[in-house]
Amino acid sequence: MTETSSRRIRVALLFGGRSGEHSISCLTAGSILEAIDRRRFEPVPVGITRDGRWTLAPDDPALLRLVDGRLPEVGGDGPEVLAPTRAGSSEWRLLSDSGTVASLGSIDVSFPLLHGPFGEDGTVQGLLELTDQRYVGAGVLASAVGMDKGYMKCVLEAHGLPVLPYVVVGADELAAEAAASVAAEDRLVAAGSRRALDWPVFVKPCRAGSSLGISKATRAAELADAIEFARRHDPRVLIEQASRGREIECAVLGSPSGRPPRASLPSEIVVQGGHEFYDFDAKYLDAAGADLLCPADLPAEATAQVQAMATQAYRAIGGEGLARVDFFYDPSAPEPLVVNEINTMPGFTPISQYPRMWLASGLSYSDLVGELIELALERPQGLR
């Protein structure tokens, strides 16, 4: 880093975005603005509006907090931000309302704090790859696979990682017909896992997050409505057998110089307050919606297995930088530990599981942010 050693490293924090998780991304950006080590890093907040305009946002964490149950939004009042359009250029620009273009200066690295489609799914990563911009976290393929629960399960299974039985309903299928064929078990030959689904099942948009569009169906008659509900977020839908297991999570962090990724101590989510599962309200709005136990109280062998499977899942999708791997743990089930999902840009406020697991493992929030940026600066660019 000789070029940047004499000045602070300029980090574009990309947040907000076009997905249903816009506001959650704003919360993350606020936390990072507050905690980032400003002796080493100069954050440049780039807020992406819900309709996809990149704008220079105020460097003010107070504007990006949950206030009286209201989630924050990107205001979009600042000048438009133009990422480089030429490979090798690190100069970002500003476009005013009147059409004047000014320089935003050189950006050393971007931190896509984006959750959901058009951000966590490889699209923004592809835009940055096209012009050799350095960025934190997973690349194009890992982001895309991690985003799509159908392909994710397929890749995890192919790497020998246990997942629950599931089927995918394609965008071209009518909900009622898909529901009937799943209920009649016609689908299982075509299904990823080729195993019968027992009731109840969870019905989820393939590409969403924060539990948006997820519902539980306890019998065949509820399935078509559940598919339609998921389709508010994504035409492709995953139907998956319900687990009675405990919800266990594990944080994975890349290591410098190609050394193996690290796994944190696992944590556990215990849903409270009458929520049927870990839904959007229990996650973000109801302070008593869940107990987050960190580290999780697990037998030593289960902890070791969670950690091993978390890094296997990270490698399976080709992860880089960070990921949170979520499990169901039910010692009475034939397969006690199954992977539920991998998130390549997990919730990242100081009270989110990912940073808390690292804190419990000895790494503070601001040191974690620093490590992620360092990893992005040292990794090779292009095909790697």
Ligand X SMILES: Nc1ncnc2c1ncn2[C@@H]1O[C@H](COP(=O)(O)OP(=O)(O)O)[C@@H](O)[C@H]1O
Could you tell me the smallest distance in angstroms from the CB atom of residue 351 to ligand X?
16
**Which DSSP helix (H) or strand (E) runs through 366?**
helix 365-378
Could you tell me the smallest distance in angstroms from the CB atom of residue 137 to ligand X?
17
Could you tell me the smallest distance in angstroms from the CB atom of residue 201 to ligand X?
7
CA distances from 284 to 78, 288, 289 (A): 28, 10, 8
**Token duo for residue 149:** 């629960």
Q: Which residue has the tokens 């509820």?
A: 222
Is the CB of 120 or the CB of 320 nearer to ligand X?
120
Could you tell me the smallest distance in angstroms from the CB atom of residue 39 to ligand X?
35
Planar angle of CA 54, 55, 58, nearest 5 degrees: 145
Rounded Cα gap, residues 270 and 143, in angstroms: 28
Rounded Cα gap, residues 75 and 295, in angstroms: 37
Residue showing the smallest CB distance to ligand X in the complex: 278
Is the CB of 248 or the CB of 363 nearer to ligand X?
248
Chain contacts with ligand X (rule: CB under 6 A): 164, 202, 204, 208-211, 214, 240-243, 247, 277-278, 326, 340-341
Could you tell me the smallest distance in angstroms from the CB atom of residue 94 to ligand X?
35
Is the CB of 141 or the CB of 271 nearer to ligand X?
271
Is the CB of 33 or the CB of 296 nearer to ligand X?
296
Q: CB of 280 within 8 A of CB of 230?
A: no
Q: CB of 47 within 8 A of CB of 15?
A: yes
Q: CB of 79 within 8 A of CB of 92?
A: no
Could you tell me the smallest distance in angstroms from the CB atom of residue 309 to ligand X?
16
Q: Which residue has the tokens 């924090």?
A: 13
Return the closest-CA partner of residue 78 out of 49, 118, 36, 119. 49
Phi, psi for residue 261 in degrees, rounded to 5: -65, 155
Is the CB of 10 or the CB of 22 nearer to ligand X?
22
Is the CB of 222 or the CB of 326 nearer to ligand X?
326
